[in-house]
Amino acid sequence: MSADLQAQGVEFNYPDGRRALDGVDLDIAAGERVAILGPNGSGKTTFALHLNGILEPAAGSITIAGMPVIEENYPEIRRMVGLVFQDANDQLFMTTVREDVAFGPMNMGLEGDELDRRVDEALRVVAGTEFADRPPHHLSGGEKRRAALATVLSMDPSILVFDEPTSGLDPAGRRELITTLASLPMTQLIITHDLSLALELCDRSVIMNRGRVVADASTREILSDAELLAQNRLELPRVIGSEG
Amino acid sequence: MGSGHGHALYVHEHSFIHRMAPQAKLLAAIGMVASVAITPREALWAFGIYAVAVAGLFVASRVRLRYLFVRLLAVAPFVLFAFFIPFIASGEKVELGPFNVSVEGLWGAWNILIKATLGASVSILLTSTTEIPDIFRGLAALRIPALFISIATFMIRYLELIIDELGRMRIAMTSRGYDPRWIAQARPIATSAGAMFVRSYERGERVHSAMLSRGFTGEMPIFKQTEPTPAQWAVVSMFVATFVAIATTALVVT
């Protein structure tokens, strides 16, 4: 299952009054996989926290599968939108991975066989069955990231939002994660500085800067615009043999 | 670390005590510690029986006695304190070798020493045969309010992270030539404690966001627990009843 997402004129101010989002407009179709690029402090994470109502916009609106993101819809919205946080330690707060993966479905009222089925399936998708009963602080970085993904997959989401999914992973861990993301049918928003990941996984990319969407085009088009990339503090990886 | 097991205190073994449902073990531990605590210090015979019973449980648990002794060092500060009481306390004095010590103080020291050692031994037995998640499930089964359990769960979960962070901060300070020797140099330590507080607070906020994102509404979900078997209840009841009986007898006799 995948769902579409519309954001219109989303504005948000930090508690100290600084403007974090300055009218974000974004339209994402069901099943699309879109990279959200942009410099640090451009509002990417703040925007992600609006998608399931953790932060509420000062102005503007967001709808998920036609449903406005407002308080009365939060339970359903939070089931549909799975947020994978940048620091997996923030996402894994129970004493074992299995309990963490069960946390979401249990909040939805699932129990018994259906709960077990959901948890086992989510762990299988991320190849995490073997570390299911370990405490989170005994996992490697890559395992933690996969476990964090399992904690939202168990809620059967329609949209997945990743915040820097590959930061801090070794190349093999990064590759495993990319393979997993490529296999998932849900709509995906991937906040990243990893441009080669964007190119590999996402047909479309969006650049955010100073709380606005400043570019929205095919990933190939965006990555070949050197001036646009430089303006937004982005840089393509250099490949051996292409220097100079 | 390295093993698949939850925490440093757990000792992987296969014994009936390891297999016992956590709530039964918790009740037994609470009952035993409470009995020890209320036993009058003069009832030496009672403490003898307690010690034999606890030692028997350790043997049955197959946890090596070395573990027990190493972990018992945790009570050392209390024991050290107890050691001084006979010298400080007033009242009737008695000659003990070259020292002139207080009788009341000797009893006080004995009281602390034996009760701390027995109480700690029971706790060590509990934690070395029960994994942390199971202890929490046991507490939940005993109807301990979910809020307390959540607080304890989060503390265990994040303590290691906070210790790691402190370690990194210390390395960062040492790398820049900080080598405190005098109290006047303590300022950066105070600053880092403040920084730790802010970081932990911010982490708390992020964890809360992650919980809300997965539908948390203020009540932690309750995980299913294994129910103690009748045989386990029988063993626990027998032990607790024996301890309570000894404590009661000791109270009446002395």
C-alpha torsion angle, residues A65, A68, A74, A78 (rounded to 10): 30
Q: What is the pLDDT of residue B116?
A: 92
The distance of B8 to chain A (nearest Cα, Å) reads: 11
Among A54, A95, A134, whose Cβ lies nearest the Cβ of B136? A95
CA distance B120 to B73: 10
User: Which residues in chain A have Cβ-Cβ distances shorter than 8 Å to B1?
Assistant: 138
Positions in chain A short of pLDDT 50: 244
Residue pair A49/A21 in contact by the 8 Å Cβ criterion:
no
Encode pLDDT of B228-241 as tens digits.
Answer: 889 889 988 988 99
The DSSP output letter for A240 is T
HEC string of B7-35 equals: CCCCCCCCCHHHHCCHHHHHHHHHHHHHH
User: Binning pLDDT at 50, 70 and 90, where does residue B51 land?
Assistant: very high
Encode pLDDT of B154-191 as tens digits.
Answer: 888 888 888 888 888 888 888 888 777 777 777 777 88
The token pair at B55 is 């030692």
The token pair at B251 is 């109270």
User: Binning pLDDT at 50, 70 and 90, where does residue B63 land?
Assistant: confident
User: Which residues in chain A have Cβ-Cβ distances shorter than 8 Å to B130?
Assistant: none
B160–A151: do the CB atoms touch at under 8 Å? no
Domain boundaries, chain A: 5-231
Mean pLDDT of chain B: 86
CA distance to A193, A197, B85, B90, per residue, from A164 (Å): 7, 11, 59, 67
CA distance A227 to A105: 46
Mean pLDDT of B143-149: 88
User: Binning pLDDT at 50, 70 and 90, where does residue B81 land?
Assistant: confident
DSSP 3-state assignment of B231? Answer: helix
Residue B1 has pLDDT above 60, yes or no: no
CATH number of A5-231: 3.40.50.300
Encode pLDDT of A54-110 as tens digits.
Answer: 999 999 999 999 999 999 999 999 999 999 999 999 999 998 999 999 999 999 999
Residue B5 has pLDDT above 80, yes or no: no
Q: What is the pLDDT of residue A184?
A: 96
The complex's ipTM works out to 0.85
Q: What is the pLDDT of residue A243?
A: 52
The token pair at A93 is 């707060």
Please name which of A57, A70, A131, A45 lies closest in space to residue A96, comparing C-alpha atoms: A131
Q: What is the pLDDT of residue A244?
A: 46
B187 at A interface, C-beta within 8 A? no
B212 at A interface, C-beta within 8 A? yes
B62 at A interface, C-beta within 8 A? no
B201 at A interface, C-beta within 8 A? no
Q: Which DSSP string do the residues of A73-106 spell out, in sequence order? A: GHHHHHHHEEEE-SSHHHH--SSSHHHHHHHHHH
A99 at B interface, C-beta within 8 A? yes
